[in-house]
Amino acid sequence: MYEDPQSSDEESPVPDTDTCSSKELEQLFQQELSPGFEVAASLKRTCGLHLSQSCDYSKLAVALSRKELQVYHVGEGGDLVLANGSLGRYESSIRGVKFFNGDPNSLVCCTEAGDIYQYDLRSGSEVYRFEDTSEGRKKTMTSCDINRNDRVLCASTEVQKNGDSYLLFFDVRERAYLGCYWECHSEDITHVRFHPTDPDLFASASVDGLTNVFDISKLTEDDAMQYCFNAETSIDSINWHTDPTGRDLVACVTTTNDLHLYDVKSQDQIALFDREEITKSLRRSSSIDCNVVATHNDANGSFFVLAGSNFNRGSECLRTLKYDNKCLLPYRSFGGNRQIVRASVYNERDQYLIATGEAGLITLWKCLDVSSNPSNGVNSASKSLKQKLHVSHRAKPY
């Protein structure tokens, strides 16, 4: 888990460079994008760890390594305005933040200490705190997510003193602990994600290399377990996608910056892209510096991979690769990046990317072409970098 704003990633002794000319890069990547807006989360040194955007895309939650939670208003012109610089300040590190799927004013934030805070942005205050004390001491948390209908909240844990790692479930409306799964993983659980449309379908990933898919409407953990994929290496993050035929896919990004893609129902591994292949697709020379940030669903029904280089503190390369028929193809290049990116969100409706990372900057890039109707969403005519600094004040689950 990333804590310090200084990168711990290994960096190649040989400088990482592009493997083709600037002209070839322009032909390969559809757009060379400049930041539409950028803001520093703090005047003090910090790292952006987690991002979440509200369902109406008007708000952005940012979790920082300084154990602070901030909220920004996302304007129609693409500007980011600090709405609450100290919504949450915690004793322990933030492990995840998530807006509700149907309420743009509600979000949750989980911390390493084992607390999940629910906030109402209208009042700017905490409204409830979820925790599991069923076995006495609270469990060390690693991530959290909310299901599609905002009824069930899940948090994952590290391996506890008894040797088990847990998936903890809570009833959001009743504000009650529902139960847990503890037999599905043998190491720290690193990430949990509910299905984007099915409120009962849920996936978890772990250091043990397993990605498990559950149907939480079932009575027991054994019955709930539907599918299991083994990447045979530690998994950092997962995401749900669909292919053109509508079948569910799960993408797994490993701690070694490989990408595994699985067909959920057939349990087949559709594709495996190691970091050498991803580096080659990015048209870069050093696989040691490859940094796979995340996968995001695109507005056209496909998905893309956001990846870059850790060389020169991330400023050399931040690009996306589009998944197409078991291949990763050059897609977009994000110029003006000034940090190693650690978290990102993508707005499918207005087609903009927001990223944060080790310099504590929050940067927005508009992904639409200038010719594609600049009047919609974020103003794509704004090519110049606007910049502001804000001081930081800092059992059955149902």
Quick one: pLDDT at residue 319? Answer: 98
Is the pLDDT assigned to residue 384 strictly greater than 70? no
The residues, any chain, with a CB within 8 Å of residue 9's CB and separated by 6 or more, are 289, 291, 310, 340
Quick one: pLDDT at residue 14? Answer: 75
Quick one: pLDDT at residue 351? Answer: 92
Strands, sheet with 259-263, edge to edge from the N-terminal-most edge strand: 235-242, 248-254, 259-263, 269-273
pLDDT tens figures, 41-56:
999 999 999 999 999 9
Quick one: pLDDT at residue 11? Answer: 52
C-alpha 358/C-alpha 7 separation (Å) is 7
Q: Report pTM.
A: 0.90
Q: pLDDT band for position 150 (50/70/90)? A: very high
Quick one: pLDDT at residue 301? Answer: 81
Q: pLDDT band for position 12 (50/70/90)? A: low
Within a 10 A sphere around the Cβ of 395, how many other Cβ atoms? Answer: 11
Is the pLDDT assigned to residue 371 strictly greater than 80? no
Average confidence (pLDDT) over 312-321: 96
For the chain, the average pLDDT equals 90
Is the pLDDT assigned to residue 164 strictly greater than 70? yes
Is the pLDDT assigned to residue 379 strictly greater than 80? no
Residue-range domains of the chain with CATH: 22-366 (2.130.10.10)
Is the pLDDT assigned to residue 291 strictly greater than 60? yes
pLDDT tens figures, 179-195:
999 999 999 999 999 99
Query: Of all residues in the chain, what percent carry a pLDDT higher than 70?
Result: 89
Query: Of all residues in the chain, what percent carry a pLDDT higher than 90?
Result: 82
Is the pLDDT assigned to residue 383 strictly greater than 60? no
Quick one: pLDDT at residue 394? Answer: 31
Average confidence (pLDDT) over 330-341: 97
3-state SS track over the chain: CCCCCCCCCCCCCCCCCECCCHHHHHHHCCEEECCCEEEECCCCCCCEEEEEECCCCCEEEEEECCCEEEEEEECCCCCEEEEEEEEEECCCCEEEEEECCCCCCEEEEEECCCCEEEEECCCCEEEEEECCCCCCCCCCEEEEEECCCCCEEEEEECCCCCCCCCEEEEECCCCEEEEEECCCCCCCEEEEEECCCCCCEEEEEECCCEEEEEECCCCCHHHHEEEEEECCCCEEEEEEEECCCCCEEEEEEECCCCEEEEECCCCCEEEEECHHHHHHHHCECCHHHEEEEEEEECCCCCEEEEEEECHHHHCCCEEEEEEECCEEEEEEEECCCCCCEEEEEEECCCCEEEEEECCCEEEEEECCCCCCCCCCCCCCCCCCCCEEECCCCCCCCC
Is the pLDDT assigned to residue 257 strictly greater than 70? yes
Quick one: pLDDT at residue 13? Answer: 65
Is the pLDDT assigned to residue 198 strictly greater than 70? yes
- What distances in angstroms separate CA 204 from CA 83, 190, 226, 230, one per listed residue? 32, 8, 12, 12
As to burial, measured by CB atoms within 10 angstroms (0-12 exposed, 13-18 middle, 19+ buried), residue 215 is middle
Quick one: pLDDT at residue 368? Answer: 72
Residue 341 near residue 291 (C-beta atoms within 8 A): yes
Is the pLDDT assigned to residue 7 strictly greater than 70? no
Quick one: pLDDT at residue 369? Answer: 53
Is the pLDDT assigned to residue 238 strictly greater than 50? yes
pLDDT tens figures, 100-115:
999 999 999 999 999 9
